[in-house]
């Protein structure tokens, strides 16, 4: 159901703020302006994207050529048009959840959040370790199974190589 309708052209939407933004097309109202150059727009998101141009920072860099840009949509369009078949090849996917991004820095921050998660077992705070992720070839991790008769389960010692803290993490299977 779309209860919000434009009186001028009949455009209908389910969200009141979408109608307000649409009506600015008819009125020409542009309440959002850039402090640096005076650019004006009807949409606050357009202004946010515009302001990124002033920083000179380009978050999206093509690993196949020297192209870089500030918007994910532009980056995806570049991959589709200049490197056909590669548009899905540079998406960073988390092995522990459904998170995906095309920015490596955001992916790394996300992975750190998983590594900070902990669980309390028998009063001891242990990191939650997803063995599929920890044994991932990309992470360059070695693991050895240590069988010890006094443990109820086998213990896997996972030793990261070339990581920040080089700590050994134990998890039972």
* 102 falls within a domain: no
For residue 99, give Cα distances in angstroms to 107, 109, 114, 128: 8, 12, 11, 17
What pLDDT score was predicted for residue 38? 92
d(CA 75, CA 87): 9
* 157 falls within a domain: yes
What pLDDT score was predicted for residue 124? 54
Q: Which residues pair with 127 in a beta bridge?
A: 118
What pLDDT score was predicted for residue 117? 62
State the total domains in the chain.
2
CB under 8 Å to 171, separation ≥6 — which residues? 126, 129, 131, 155, 156, 158
59 DSSP 8-state letter: -
* 111 falls within a domain: no
What pLDDT score was predicted for residue 108? 83
What pLDDT score was predicted for residue 106? 79
Burial of 75 (0-12, 13-18, 19+ CB in 10 A): buried
What pLDDT score was predicted for residue 29? 96
Q: How many CB atoms sit inside 10 A of residue 10's CB?
A: 7
What pLDDT score was predicted for residue 53? 87
**Among candidate residues 55, 76, 95, the one where a domain is terminated:** 55
What pLDDT score was predicted for residue 154? 39
- Of 108, 126, 109, the closest CA to residue 117 belongs to 126
What pLDDT score was predicted for residue 88? 63
What pLDDT score was predicted for residue 151? 37
What pLDDT score was predicted for residue 137? 39
For 23, the domain range is 4-55
Q: Which positions of the chain have pLDDT values less than 70? A: 87-91, 116-173
d(CA 92, CA 73): 16
pTM of the model as a whole: 0.44
Q: Which residues pair with 170 in a beta bridge?
A: 157
What pLDDT score was predicted for residue 31? 96
What pLDDT score was predicted for residue 84? 80
């Amino acid at each position: 159901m779309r209860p919000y309708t434009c009186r001028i052209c009949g455009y209908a939407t389910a969200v009141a703020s979408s109608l307000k933004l649409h009506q600015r097309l008819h009125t020409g109202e542009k309440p959002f302006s850039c402090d640096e150059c005076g650019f004006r727009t009807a949409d606050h998101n357009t202004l946010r994207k515009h302001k990124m141009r002033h920083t000179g920072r380009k978050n999206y860099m093509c690993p196949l050529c020297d192209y870089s840009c500030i918007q994910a949509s532009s980056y995806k369009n570049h991959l589709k048009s200049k490197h056909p078949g590669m548009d899905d090849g540079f998406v960073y996917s988390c092995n522990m959840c459904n998170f995906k991004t095309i920015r490596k820095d955001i992916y790394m921050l996300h992975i750190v959040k998983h590594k900070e998660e902990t669980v309390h077992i028998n009063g001891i705070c242990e990191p939650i370790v997803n063995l599929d992720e920890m044994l991932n070839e990309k992470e360059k991790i070695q693991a050895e199974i240590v069988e010890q008769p006094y443990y109820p389960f086998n213990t896997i010692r996972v030793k990261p190589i070339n990581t920040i803290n080089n700590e050994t993490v134990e998890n039972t299977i």
